[in-house]
């Protein structure tokens, strides 16, 4: 029998360099100058579309004129098609050999920038690299600048994309996907709407509880998870989760949470969350929080803690999302959940399909 975790984490790579702190984003200019000295055309910037109408927030640290800004529409999660189209645009405009690729935004934008960097150096199409260790050569030098905290996309070795052709939601899992340099500046997250801040921030909490509850663990991953959880508890247990100190704490929690998943696996919750994203288009952070409300039998203490934190921060988690779905939609939800063998094996063992039967999965979705 094939061991689905045979590709497990035996060696782990972290981001090589990072700047941290209020004002850290001021380092971007010198970094890009240095990168430019090594050759290539001017850097390209992938920026979350929120900043299109709020350019005053980024103008201060982007080189001017910044003609190579590509705004990333994050109203939907990244697709392989979207990545291919963005890459094609760079090729058509003769900008496909940049000295650096810079991602500025949340998990979606950071992932798009990672994927483009890999694709520009490796050729082909994004879908060819969905899987484990399929990227052959290092991507273009890439800099990640998160503007919302929680996914850990800044520190992981993957970039999640959905292939609309086959519904596969999977990233380019590769050491080459890890950012070369990060700028973690908590000032950049001050404009995030409160609910979104909570939903995305909780991704970090959830990554860590799932890793710690799994059976494929290692001591380094556990240490990252424990520290990240401690910070999440301070942030979401505080009166104002978005105070300057708490935004800094959550940025660290997110980074460490990404390091934690990079050296372990998630569990039962993420596969259900991916089901909601693929079938109903619910965004990752919100989908996680919705699924959390139905995970009592797997993570009882954590569900209770999560609900307390949501109440403390006055964040409403939508209920009844699967009400009125057709049997075909429940079938699709089941398939999109159960496909995630690695995390489910990590959480429930190799016989996980005996626990998560078609009926059981539907029952859990109906609970949400």
Task: Give me the residues that bind ligand NAD (CB under 6 A), please.
Answer: 48, 50, 74, 77-78, 105-109, 111, 147-148, 150-153, 156, 158-160, 171, 188-189, 191-192, 196, 200, 203, 283-285
- From 8-16, 169-177, 196-204, 274-282, span contacting Zn ion (CB under 5 A): 196-204
**CB nearer ligand NAD, residue 43 or residue 150:** 150
| DSSP result, 4-60 | TTTT--SS----SEEEESTTGGGGHHHHHHHHHHT-SBPPEEEEEGGGGS-THHHHT
153-to-2, 28, 77 alpha-carbon distances in Å: 29, 19, 13
Nearest-approach distance from CB 107 to ligand NAD, in angstroms? 2
Each as own residue / partner, the long-range contacts of residues 6-14 (CB below 8 Å, 24 or more positions apart, any chain) are 7/132, 7/133, 8/216, 8/265, 9/216, 9/218, 9/221, 9/262, 9/263, 9/264, 9/265, 12/220, 12/221, 12/262, 12/263, 13/157, 13/175, 13/178, 13/262, 14/155, 14/178, 14/259, 14/262
- From 20-28, 94-102, 201-209, 251-259, span contacting Zn ion (CB under 5 A): 201-209
**Residue from 203, 302, 305, 362 binding Zn ion (CB under 5 A):** 203
- From 60-68, 199-207, 242-250, 331-339, span contacting Zn ion (CB under 5 A): 199-207
**CB nearer ligand NAD, residue 58 or residue 90:** 58
**CB nearer ligand NAD, residue 23 or residue 349:** 23
Q: Which does 139 bind (CB under 5 to 8 A by kind): Zn ion, ligand NAD, none?
A: none
Q: Which does 188 bind (CB under 5 to 8 A by kind): ligand NAD, Zn ion, none?
A: ligand NAD
Nearest-approach distance from CB 210 to ligand NAD, in angstroms? 12
Closest among 184, 196, 135, 236 to 21, alpha carbons compared = 184
Each as own residue / partner, the long-range contacts of residues 324-327 (CB below 8 Å, 24 or more positions apart, any chain) are 325/365
**CB nearer ligand NAD, residue 158 or residue 345:** 158
**CB nearer ligand NAD, residue 95 or residue 259:** 259
Nearest 5°: the CA angle 142, 282, 287 is 85
Nearest-approach distance from CB 125 to Zn ion, in angstroms? 25
Nearest-approach distance from CB 306 to Zn ion, in angstroms? 14
DSSP 218: -
Q: Which does 78 bind (CB under 5 to 8 A by kind): ligand NAD, Zn ion, none?
A: ligand NAD
First to last CA, the chain: 34
Nearest 5°: the CA angle 329, 334, 339 is 130
**CB nearer ligand NAD, residue 150 or residue 294:** 150
Number of residues that bind Zn ion (CB under 5 A): 1
Beta strand pairing call for 168-173 and 142-146: unpaired
**CB nearer ligand NAD, residue 203 or residue 302:** 203
Nearest-approach distance from CB 147 to Zn ion, in angstroms? 17
Report the residue closest to ligand NAD, judged by CB. Answer: 107
Residue 263's CB is within 10 A of a number of other CB atoms, namely 25
**CB nearer Zn ion, residue 111 or residue 203:** 203
Report the residue closest to Zn ion, judged by CB. Answer: 203
Nearest-approach distance from CB 299 to ligand NAD, in angstroms? 18
Nearest-approach distance from CB 211 to ligand NAD, in angstroms? 13
Beta strand pairing call for 181-184 and 44-48: unpaired
Nearest-approach distance from CB 116 to ligand NAD, in angstroms? 14
Restricted to residues 4-63, the positions that interact with Zn ion (CB under 5 A) are: none
Nearest-approach distance from CB 179 to ligand NAD, in angstroms? 10
**CB nearer ligand NAD, residue 95 or residue 113:** 113
Closest among 210, 236, 257, 243 to 306, alpha carbons compared = 236
| DSSP result, 140-186 | S-EEEEESS-SS-TTTSS--EEEETTTTEEEEEESGGGS-SEEEE-G
């Amino acid at each position: 029998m094939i061991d689905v975790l045979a590709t497990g984490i035996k060696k782990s790579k972290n981001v090589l360099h990072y700047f941290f702190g209020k004002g850290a984003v001021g380092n971007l200019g010198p970094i890009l100058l240095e990168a430019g000295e090594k050759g290539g055309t001017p850097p390209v910037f992938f920026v979350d579309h929120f900043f299109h109408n709020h350019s005053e927030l980024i103008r201060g640290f982007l080189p001017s004129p910044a003609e190579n800004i590509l705004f990333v529409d994050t109203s939907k999660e990244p697709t392989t098609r979207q990545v291919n189209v963005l890459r094609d645009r760079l090729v058509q405009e003769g900008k496909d050999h940049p000295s650096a690729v810079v991602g500025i935004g949340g998990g979606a934008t950071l992932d798009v920038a990672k994927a483009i960097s890999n694709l520009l150096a490796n050729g082909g199409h994004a879908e060819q690299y969905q899987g484990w260790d399929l990227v052959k050569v290092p991507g273009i030098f890439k800099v990640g600048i998160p503007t919302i905290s929680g996914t850990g996309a800044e520190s992981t070795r993957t970039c999640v994309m959905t292939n609309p052709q086959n519904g596969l939601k999977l990233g380019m899992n590769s050491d080459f996907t890890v950012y070369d340099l990060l700028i973690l500046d908590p000032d950049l997250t001050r404009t995030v709407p409160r609910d979104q801040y909570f939903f995305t921030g909780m991704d970090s909490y959830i990554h860590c509880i799932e890793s710690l509850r799994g059976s494929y663990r290692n001591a380094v991953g556990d240490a990252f998870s424990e520290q990240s959880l401690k910070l999440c508890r301070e942030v979401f247990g505080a009166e104002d989760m978005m105070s300057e100190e708490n935004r800094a704490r959550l940025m660290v929690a997110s980074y460490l949470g990404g390091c934690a998943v990079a050296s372990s696996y998630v569990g039962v919750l993420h596969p259900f969350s991916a089901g909601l994203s693929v079938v109903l288009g619910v965004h990752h952070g919100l989908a996680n929080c919705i699924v959390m409300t139905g995970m009592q039998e797997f993570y009882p203490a954590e569900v209770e803690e999560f609900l307390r934190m949501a109440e403390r921060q006055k964040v409403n988690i939508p209920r009844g999302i699967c009400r009125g779905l057709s049997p075909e939609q429940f079938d699709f939800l089941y398939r999109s959940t159960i496909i995630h063998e690695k995390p489910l094996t990590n959480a429930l063992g190799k016989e996980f399909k005996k626990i998560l039967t078609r009926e059981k999965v539907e029952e859990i979705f109906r609970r949400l």
